[in-house]
């Protein structure tokens, strides 16, 4: 009896044991699989995590680069303001010197003992004004003579001229025949090109190769840049030299005025600064790529227009006189005096106003007699823009020639856009003044006839 | 024309209809996930790509992944996160079941049969098949899961494309007290296993799946290399019907075939009992989470 019970109990225990063994087997199998799956999940997790980390690093780098660019732009901006201010005052001084020298030259013969000295003064003024033009270019101003031009044409002409002066530099050109035209100030773009050639030449004192390439581009080609280009077509000019190259620190500051890596006394340090300013003023972008010892590449993008460039007629060169009445408005005594005398020299009847208010008063009372107003942009009491509007209100057909050494906030460009008739950059010579006036007055006659 | 050829012709015609229907819409996702399962080189990204081209599926997967059933600690809002938090394998399973479920949802209720009851049966077979593989053999059992979900897809096809015949078949099973396959053979000349086999073959599923689905009533007829897998599917199907989970197409069991399968796989009946108990617990947990609810109103 006891035996049978214990036998039965043994059977039961055996059976329970079997089930427990199965359960253990099931659990072990399941756990092992779960462990494997966890390992895969962990692997997945780290893969995703590390790719996210890479993304964060990349973004951080981009942000840092943008901040650097922004700081650089700000620095350039403030230096530009300073440079522009200096240029403004300097130009007015030059105007006085230029005007007085012009007048003296008119009164003497070429045999006069002072003739050559006066010519030298004029030449020096021209050199001085070239310097201020570069400063103005840097300050992103003075973009007034805009027309459709062919960049290829400018590159060909300037590089031909340049290569005759620097034989040790071989220039290669790869110019796209179907290049779009650009809307630009030809003189300024020529200056940009020459400055870049000079810069390249200075990087290759032992001679070397300069590759000039042009091609069409769109804003999409520029999407990897740090800046955000305005959508549209662009013309790309790239200049690659085989010179000494530069390091990152130099590259960061290369467009700053008076910054030079070539020691004081060599060059003005304004060349690339004015390149930068001019390109910006034309709505373009400029990039530089370089490595120490490995040459440098400058890339310039200028907005393209869908127009073919037009051939310009050559300018008339003689001094032309006239009998019309001219109102000269300028708050600077030196300019007003010398300007008035220059006009009289050209046989014009001259009225001078030394402030905006005075100009309006004079114009109001005598506007039927006044054929032309030469108007300074920046005056303390009333700025050129306001005077311009008031005069146009009195007489919508008034002919106004803007004159300026520099306009800090683009007022001149503003007024030009409103339909002003002409612009003359101070300092101006007798010849330039006479041309500007005739061009304007004859334009009126054309329209009336 | 032989009897075989004639049957082939008939089923081919039905498959043409299937190709133009809603059912075929599951094909690309389902074969994509099955490819991921069967390719050891595949990654979580491949799976993510497959799921994310199907926005309703993505939403469903995320809904299930966020249910209490998977104990996710964090709100999961991306497939990628789901892969991390609840696991690559689980996401494969959810994607597969949610996609296959779409075709079951369309089925109308016909005397004793409904898409819903067949779905419950199918998911139970899938789960059980997988659990047998894992616990008894230490294998991942992902194909067993897929096979379980799809083994009765032939019934869905019949209900949608042979509506009248299918009603007749169901009446016949009730009146004559016979299994579905027998009634199908008498009315149509073929069964839902034939349709399932040809359809999954047409969809280029792995041969293992095609053979197991085609032989889920006769695992002994499967070729040697697939007989083990077919037997697992048979056992899972058999046990779910025995326990009365969801729809049953073969209420009149054949214990002989079942015992043959146990022998072939060297599994003890009491071991299976343990697994089935756990499976039933899972199923009731899923039901508790509303994972069987058809959102017909949302469609």
Chain A residue numbers with beta carbons less than 8 Å from the beta carbon of B89 are 37, 40
Does residue B260 sit within a domain? yes
Closest Cβ–Cβ partner in A22, A23, A41 for B88:
A41
**Three-class secondary structure of residue A142 per DSSP:** coil
H/E stretch holding A351 reads strand A349-353
H/E stretch holding B86 reads helix B79-86
DSSP-assigned letter for residue A322: -
Beta-carbon separation of B134 and A33 below 8 A: yes
For residue B290, the model assigns a pLDDT of 72
Q: What is the CATH number of the domain that holds B84?
A: 1.10.3210.10
DSSP-assigned letter for residue B22: G
Angle of helix B88-105 relative to helix B79-86, nearest 10 degrees?
120
pLDDT of A416 strictly over 80: no
Does residue B298 sit within a domain? no
User: What is the spatial distance between Cα B10 and Cα A1, in angstroms, rounded to a whole number?
Assistant: 70
Q: What is the mean pLDDT of chain A?
A: 82
DSSP-assigned letter for residue B252: S
Beta-carbon separation of A41 and B268 below 8 A: no
Residues from B in contact with A at Cβ < 8 Å: 43-44, 80, 83-84, 87-89, 134-140, 268, 270-271, 274-275
User: What is the spatial distance between Cα A433 and Cα A339, in angstroms, rounded to a whole number?
Assistant: 9
Beta-carbon separation of A26 and B137 below 8 A: no
Closest Cβ–Cβ partner in B44, B136, B139 for A44:
B44
Does residue B297 sit within a domain? no
Does residue B133 sit within a domain? yes
Q: Closest Cα of chain B to A51: distance in Å? A: 12
Closest Cβ–Cβ partner in B84, B137, B274 for A44:
B84
User: What is the spatial distance between Cα B85 and Cα B92, in angstroms, rounded to a whole number?
Assistant: 13
User: What is the spatial distance between Cα A299 and Cα A251, in angstroms, rounded to a whole number?
Assistant: 13
Closest Cβ–Cβ partner in A19, A30, A41 for B87:
A41
Which residue do the tokens 């300073």 mark?
A: A82
Please state the pTM of the whole predicted model: 0.56
Q: Closest Cα of chain A to B269: distance in Å? A: 11
Please name the residue of chain B whose CA is at the shortest distance from the CA of residue A24: B135
Judge contact between A180 and A200, C-beta under 8 A: no
At A236-278, the pLDDT tens digits run 999 999 988 888 888 878 887 777 666 544 556 677 888 888 8
Neighbouring C-alpha atoms within 13 Å toward the C-beta of B294? 18
Handedness of CA A133, A135, A141, A143 (dihedral sign): positive
Region for A293 from its dihedrals, namely left if φ exceeds 0, alpha if ψ lies in -120 to 50, beta otherwise: left
Which residue do the tokens 């007048």 mark?
A: A103
Chain B residue numbers with beta carbons less than 8 Å from the beta carbon of A38 are 87
Chain A residue numbers with beta carbons less than 8 Å from the beta carbon of B138 are 29, 32-33
Q: Give the pLDDT mean for A364-387.
A: 84
User: What is the spatial distance between Cα B294 and Cα B296, in angstroms, rounded to a whole number?
Assistant: 6
- Cα-based angle A68, A73, A75 (whole degrees, multiple of 5): 95
Cα radius of gyration (chain A): 36
First and final C-alpha spacing in chain A: 144
Closest Cβ–Cβ partner in B136, B268, B274 for A23:
B274
For residue A446, the model assigns a pLDDT of 46
Domain enclosing residue B119, as ranges:
3-290
For residue B138, the model assigns a pLDDT of 92
**Three-class secondary structure of residue B107 per DSSP:** coil
Judge contact between A276 and A134, C-beta under 8 A: no
Window from A58-62, A309-313, A416-420, B272-276 with minimum mean pLDDT: A309-313
Beta-carbon separation of B87 and A48 below 8 A: no
For residue A139, the model assigns a pLDDT of 61
- Higher-confidence residue of A297 and A270: namely A297
Does residue B295 sit within a domain? no
> Residue A46, Cβ neighbours under 10 Å: how many?
12
First and final C-alpha spacing in chain B: 44
User: Helix, strand, coil proportions of chain A in percent (round to 5)?
Assistant: 55, 15, 30
For this complex, say whether ipTM is above 0.85. no
Candidates B71, B134, B272: best to mutate against A (most CBs of A within 10 A) is B134
Chain A residue numbers with beta carbons less than 8 Å from the beta carbon of B44 are 44, 47-48
Judge contact between A335 and A89, C-beta under 8 A: no
Please name the residue of chain B whose CA is at the shortest distance from the CA of residue A21: B271
For residue A36, the model assigns a pLDDT of 87
Beta-carbon separation of B135 and A48 below 8 A: no
* Max Cα distance, chain B (Å): 62
pLDDT of A279 strictly over 60: yes
- Higher-confidence residue of B45 and A152: namely A152
Does residue B138 sit within a domain? yes
- Enter the tokens of residue B271: 């071991």
At A311-343, the pLDDT tens digits run 444 444 567 788 889 999 988 888 888 888 888
pLDDT of A131 strictly over 80: no
Please name the residue of chain A whose CA is at the shortest distance from the CA of residue B85: A41
Q: Which residues pair with A125 in a beta bridge?
A: none
Judge contact between A376 and A332, C-beta under 8 A: yes
For residue A138, the model assigns a pLDDT of 63
Chain B residue numbers with beta carbons less than 8 Å from the beta carbon of A30 are 134-135
For residue B293, the model assigns a pLDDT of 56
Chain B residue numbers with beta carbons less than 8 Å from the beta carbon of A44 are 43-44, 83-84, 88
Beta-carbon separation of A41 and B271 below 8 A: no
For residue A3, the model assigns a pLDDT of 75
Chain B residue numbers with beta carbons less than 8 Å from the beta carbon of A40 are 87-89
Q: What is the dihedral of CA A118, A124, A125, A127, to 10 degrees?
A: 150
Q: Give the pLDDT mean for A53-57.
A: 91
For residue A29, the model assigns a pLDDT of 93
H/E stretch holding A174 reads strand A169-175
Q: How confident is the model at residue A307 (pLDDT cuts 50, 70, 90)?
A: low
For residue A406, the model assigns a pLDDT of 60
SS3 letters across A225-283: CCCCCCCCEEEEEEEEECCCCCCHHHHHHCCCCCCCCCCCCCCCCCHHHHHHHHHHHCC
Q: Alpha carbon of A177 to those of A235, A237, A368, B123, B230: distances in Å?
A: 12, 13, 53, 70, 73
Closest Cβ–Cβ partner in B43, B140, B274 for A26:
B274
- Enter the tokens of residue B263: 């022998």
Give DSSP secondary structure letters for chain B: --HHHHHHHHHHHHHHHHHTSGGGGGHHHHHHHHHHHH-TT--HHHHHHHHHT-HHHHHHHHHHHTSGGGT-SS---SHHHHHHHH-HHHHHHHHHHHHHHHHHHTPPPBTTB-HHHHHHHHHHHHHHHHHHHHHHH----HHHHHHHHHTTHHHHHHHHHSHHHHHHHHHHHHHHT--HHHHHHHHHSS-HHHHHHHHHHHTT--HHHHHHHHTSS-GGGS-HHHHHHHHHHHHHHHHHHHTT-S--S--S--HHHHHHHHHHHT--HHHHHHHHHHHHHHHHHHHHTTTT---GGG-
Q: Which residues pair with B201 in a beta bridge?
A: none
Please name the residue of chain B whose CA is at the shortest distance from the CA of residue A27: B135
Judge contact between A79 and A256, C-beta under 8 A: yes
Judge contact between A379 and A407, C-beta under 8 A: no
User: What is the spatial distance between Cα B198 and Cα B214, in angstroms, rounded to a whole number?
Assistant: 8
Does residue B16 sit within a domain? yes
Closest Cβ–Cβ partner in A19, A29, A45 for B135:
A29
- Higher-confidence residue of A92 and A416: namely A92
Q: Closest Cα of chain B to A2: distance in Å? A: 29
Count of H helices and E strands in chain B? Answer: 16, 0
Q: How confident is the model at residue A83 (pLDDT cuts 50, 70, 90)?
A: confident
Q: Alpha carbon of B283 to those of B79, B226, B270: distances in Å?
A: 24, 28, 20
Neighbouring C-alpha atoms within 13 Å toward the C-beta of B68? 6
At A159-211, the pLDDT tens digits run 887 887 787 888 899 998 888 889 888 878 888 888 899 888 888 888 889 99
Does residue B296 sit within a domain? no
- Enter the tokens of residue A46: 């780290």
Handedness of CA B39, B44, B46, B50 (dihedral sign): positive
pLDDT per residue as tens, chain B (299 positions):
577 788 888 888 889 888 888 888 888 888 888 888 888 888 878 888 888 888 888 888 888 888 888 877 778 888 888 877 788 888 888 889 888 888 888 777 776 788 888 989 999 999 999 999 999 999 989 899 999 999 999 999 998 889 899 999 999 998 998 999 999 999 999 999 999 999 999 999 999 999 999 999 999 899 999 999 999 999 999 999 999 898 888 888 888 899 999 999 999 999 999 999 999 998 888 888 777 655 443 33
Please name the residue of chain B whose CA is at the shortest distance from the CA of residue A38: B87
> How many domains does the structure of chain B reveal?
1
Candidates A41, A46, A50: best to mutate against B (most CBs of B within 10 A) is A41
Chain B residue numbers with beta carbons less than 8 Å from the beta carbon of A33 are 134, 138-140
Which residue do the tokens 């700025």 mark?
A: A383
Share of chain A above pLDDT 90, in %: 14
């Amino acid at each position: 009896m006891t035996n049978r019970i214990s036998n039965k109990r043994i059977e039961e225990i055996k059976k329970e044991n079997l089930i427990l063994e199965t359960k253990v087997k099931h659990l072990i199998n399941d756990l092992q699989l779960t462990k494997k799956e966890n390992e895969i999940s962990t692997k997945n997790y780290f893969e995703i995590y590390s790719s996210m980390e890479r993304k964060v690093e990349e973004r951080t780098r981009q942000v840092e680069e943008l901040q650097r660019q922004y700081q650089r732009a700000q620095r350039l901006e403030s230096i530009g303001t300073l440079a522009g201010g200096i240029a403004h005052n300097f130009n007015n001084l030059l105007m006085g010197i230029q005007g007085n020298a012009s007048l003296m030259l008119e009164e003497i013969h070429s045999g006069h003992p002072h003739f050559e000295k006066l010519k030298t003064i004029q030449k020096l003024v021209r050199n001085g004004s070239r310097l201020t033009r570069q400063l103005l270019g840097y300050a992103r101003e003075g973009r007034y003579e805009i027309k459709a031009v062919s960049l290829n044409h400018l590159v060909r002409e300037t590089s031909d001229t340049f290569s005759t002066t620097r034989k040790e530099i071989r220039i290669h050109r790869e110019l796209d025949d179907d290049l779009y035209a650009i809307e630009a100030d030809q003189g300024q773009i020529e200056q940009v090109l020459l400055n870049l050639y000079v810069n390249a030449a200075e990087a290759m004192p032992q001679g070397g190769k300069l590759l000039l390439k042009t091609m069409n581009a769109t804003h999409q080609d520029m999407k990897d840049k740090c800046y955000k280009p305005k959508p549209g077509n662009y013309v790309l000019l790239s200049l690659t030299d085989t010179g000494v190259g530069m390091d990152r620190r130099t590259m960061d500051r290369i467009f700053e005025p008076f910054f030079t890596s070539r020691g004081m006394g060599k060059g003005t340090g304004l060349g690339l600064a004015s390149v930068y300013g001019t390109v910006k003023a034309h709505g373009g972008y400029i990039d530089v790529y370089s490595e120490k010892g490995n040459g440098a590449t400058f890339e310039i993008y200028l907005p393209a227009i869908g127009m073919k460039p037009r051939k310009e007629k050559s300018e008339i060169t003689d001094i032309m006189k006239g009998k019309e009445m001219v109102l000269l408005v300028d708050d600077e005594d030196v300019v007003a005096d010398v300007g008035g005398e220059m006009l009289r020299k050209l046989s014009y009847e001259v009225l001078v106003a030394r402030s905006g208010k005075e100009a309006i008063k004079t114009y109001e009372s005598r506007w039927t007699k006044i054929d032309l107003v030469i108007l300074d942009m920046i005056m303390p009491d009333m700025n050129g823009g306001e005077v311009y509007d008031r005069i146009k209100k009195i007489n919508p057909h008034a002919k106004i020639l803007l004159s300026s050494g520099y306009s800090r906030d683009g007022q001149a460009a503003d007024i030009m856009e409103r339909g002003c008739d002409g612009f003359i950059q101070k300092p101006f010579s007798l010849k330039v003044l006479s041309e500007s006036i005739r061009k304007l007055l004859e334009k009126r006659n054309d329209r009336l006839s | 024309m032989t009897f075989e050829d004639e049957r082939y012709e008939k089923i081919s015609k039905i498959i043409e209809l299937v190709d133009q229907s809603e059912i075929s819409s599951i094909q690309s996702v389902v074969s994509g996930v099955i490819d991921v399962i069967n390719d050891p080189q595949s990654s979580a990204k491949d799976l993510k790509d497959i799921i994310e081209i199907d926005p309703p599926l993505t939403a469903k997967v995320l809904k299930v992944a966020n249910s209490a059933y998977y104990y996710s600690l964090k709100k999961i809002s991306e497939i990628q996160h789901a892969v991390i938090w609840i696991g690559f394998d689980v996401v494969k399973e959810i994607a597969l079941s949610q996609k296959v479920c779409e075709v079951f949802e369309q089925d109308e209720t016909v005397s004793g049969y409904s898409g819903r009851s067949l779905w419950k049966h199918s998911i139970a077979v899938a789960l059980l098949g997988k659990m047998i593989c894992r616990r008894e053999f230490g294998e991942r059992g992902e194909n067993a899961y897929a096979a379980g979900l799809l083994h009765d897809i032939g019934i869905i096809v019949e209900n949608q494309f042979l509506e009248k015949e299918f009603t007749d078949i169901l009446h016949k099973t009730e009146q004559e007290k016979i299994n579905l396959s027998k009634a199908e053979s008498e009315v149509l000349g073929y069964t839902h296993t034939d349709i399932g086999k040809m359809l999954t073959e047409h969809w280029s599923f792995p041969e293992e799946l095609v053979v197991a689905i085609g032989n889920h009533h006769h695992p002994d007829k499967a070729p040697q290399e697939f007989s083990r897998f077919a037997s697992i599917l048979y056992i899972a199907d058999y046990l779910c019907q025995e326990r009365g989970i969801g729809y049953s197409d073969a209420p009149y069991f054949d214990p002989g075939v079942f015992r043959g399968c146990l022998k072939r796989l060297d599994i003890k009946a009491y071991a299976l009992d343990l697994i089935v108990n756990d499976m039933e617990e899972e199923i009731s947990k899923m039901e508790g989470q509303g994972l069987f609810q058809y959102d017909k109103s949302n469609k």
